[in-house]
Structure 1
Amino acid sequence: MYKETNIRSIVKGISWRFIATGTTMSIVYVFFGNVELAVATGLLETIAKVGLYWGHEKVWQRIRWGRKRIEPFNLWFTGLPLSGKTTIADKVYEKLKKLDIPLERIDSKDVREMFPNAGFSREERNRHIKRIGHLIQTLQKNSVSTVCSFVSPYRESRKMIREMVKNNIVVYVKASMEICKKRDYKGVYEKALKNEIRNFTGISDVYEEPQHAEIVIDTEKISPDEAADIIVKYVKKHYVK
């Protein structure tokens, strides 16, 4: 698969202008048999059309008719650790990028690295989620949509995000504890069971399942690719028409 580069597009535009101008000059010469007139007509036509095109574009930039603003949305992936949130969110992000809309990907791991002392108590988690909500608000003010993946185990924090941001879409990535343990390539569940990790969701801390999720993905029944297709289809239907 090849992608058109900017320089290729510019060269193609210039080459087409030469062909168009050459055609005009040839027609004038055929009808009038005058080389100087043909050259002058070709040059004037080129200058006139470049100017008219520039003016035409400027006028249409001011006309709002026929233009549709895409309202920013927020995809909020929630679920137990190792349920598949990040994997599916990454796939959704890549698919949505192809729609050429302003979009940012926010993952809990990346944000935690920026705020290593955020903590994992209920109060600290809620405060951390509120911080993410402010970030999403800032992006939405600039018409940027977001794809976020956070365990976000408490209903009050997810409710807070829904109230803070526009067009919030909760995606509950569902998986049983046993399945999550089998997927635990990091060994975090084992550490949590040994009390080496405190406030670990699903072991030493609660996960409150979403009651009003727009989309529920059961990762024990469908693949990440299938899940991504379902979510993208939902976004296209409601926000990117």
Structure 2
Amino acid sequence: MERQDKYIVWHQSTVTKKDRQALNKHKSMMIWFTGLSGSGKSTLADALERVLYTEGVRTYLLDGDNLRHGVNQNLGFSPEDRKENIRRTAEVGKLFVDAGVVVLAAVISPFEADRKAARNIFEEGEFIEVYVKCPLEECELRDPKGLYKKARAGEIQNFTGVTQPYEEPKNPEIVLDTSVLSVDEALKKLLDFIRESL
């Protein structure tokens, strides 16, 4: 059967990303939060979005768990499915960035190659990787969703940090160690960094 994708041609909109950014009065970008479950990714992403919103910045938060209720609901947690999960999340994020929005993604994204692939679909300077660093032992103590306990009991397979590895980012734009920083302290560091990029 003949492939049809060779007949698909990109349609260039007359309203550009720069036009939308000018309308919004700020740059658009992807802020990618990565880290173990329980490290504080969603908490920090939510706190950052709240502050940016109050400052008039157009934002949208893509939370990994929420995405698995919709666009990624057919994916499991095998390395292959995780790769597709990250690809889809990045592609959705790219649409938001093109729309002139600051999009925040809070996803474990345990593999360096997948995070690199996500970064590569964005233009230079549009992708900010935030490594929410926290030791596994501390994340297990927090265990806000009770997932580590279930993973240790064998109820959850392919769980990052227990039965699947987490590869620390090699060159993130910013590292926030939530085992030593409070939410407010981490948020202040992050805001200082993001405001320079807007």
Short-chain TM bin: 0.7 to 0.9
Offset of residue 124 of structure 1:
0.7
Matched, 1:159 2:116: yes
Listed one character per residue, the Cα deviations across residues 200-224 of structure 1 (whole Å, up to 9, x for unaligned) are 0000001000000111011111101
Deviates more, 1:214-223 or 1:132-141: 132-141
Unaligned residue ranges in structure 2 (runs of 5+): 1-21
Task: Name the counterpart of 1:74.
Answer: 30
1:57-114 Cα shifts (integer Å, max 9, x gaps): xxxxxxxxx9995321111000001011111111111111122122111101110111
- Counterpart selection for 1:149 from 76, 93, 106: 106
1:131 pairs with 2:75: no
For 1:76 and 1:186, locate their aligned partners in 2 and report how far apart those are by CA, in whole Å: 21
Q: Are 1:89 and 2:45 matched, yes or no?
A: yes
Question: Structure 1 CA distance, aligned partners of 2:135 and 2:96?
Answer: 34
Q: Does 1:209 align with 2:165?
A: no
| Residue 187 of structure 2 is aligned to residue 231 of structure 1 | no
Counterpart contact for 1:155–1:208, Cα < 8 Å? yes
Structure 2 counterpart of 1:219, from 174, 178, 181: 178
2:144 — aligned with what? 185
Q: Which of the residues 90, 107, 111 maps onto 2:67?
A: 111
Q: Which amino acid letter does the alignment assign opposite residue 185 of structure 2?
A: E
CA distance in 2, matches of 1:128, 1:185: 22
Letter in 2 for 1:93: E
- Identity value in percent: 35
For residues 113 and 130 of structure 2, the distance between their equivalents in structure 1, rounded to whole angstroms, comes to 16
Find the aligned partners of 1:68 and 1:104 in 2 and give their Cα distance: 14
C-alpha distance after superposition, 1:158-185 (max 9, x if no partner): 0011111241111101111110011013
Q: What TM-score do you get using the length of structure 1 for normalisation?
A: 0.69
SS in 1 for 2:68: helix
Look at both structures and tell me which one has the larger radius of gyration over its CA atoms.
1
Contact kept, 8 Å, 1:92 with 1:229, in 2: the verdict is no
Unaligned runs of 5+ in 1: 1-65
SS at match of 2:176: strand
What secondary structure is seen at the aligned counterpart in 1 of 2:69? helix
Determine which structure has the larger helix proportion and give its number: 1
For 2:133 and 2:144, locate their aligned partners in 1 and report how far apart those are by CA, in whole Å. 18
Asked if residue 140 in structure 1 is aligned to residue 84 in structure 2, the reply is: no
Post-superposition Cα deviations, 1:191-241, rounded to whole Å, max 9, x if no partner, equal 1112110000000001000000111011111101111111111111122xx
- TM-score, normalised relative to structure 2: 0.83
* Partners of 2:24 and 2:100 within 8 A in 1: no
RMSD: 1.7
1:98 to 54, 66, 76: 54
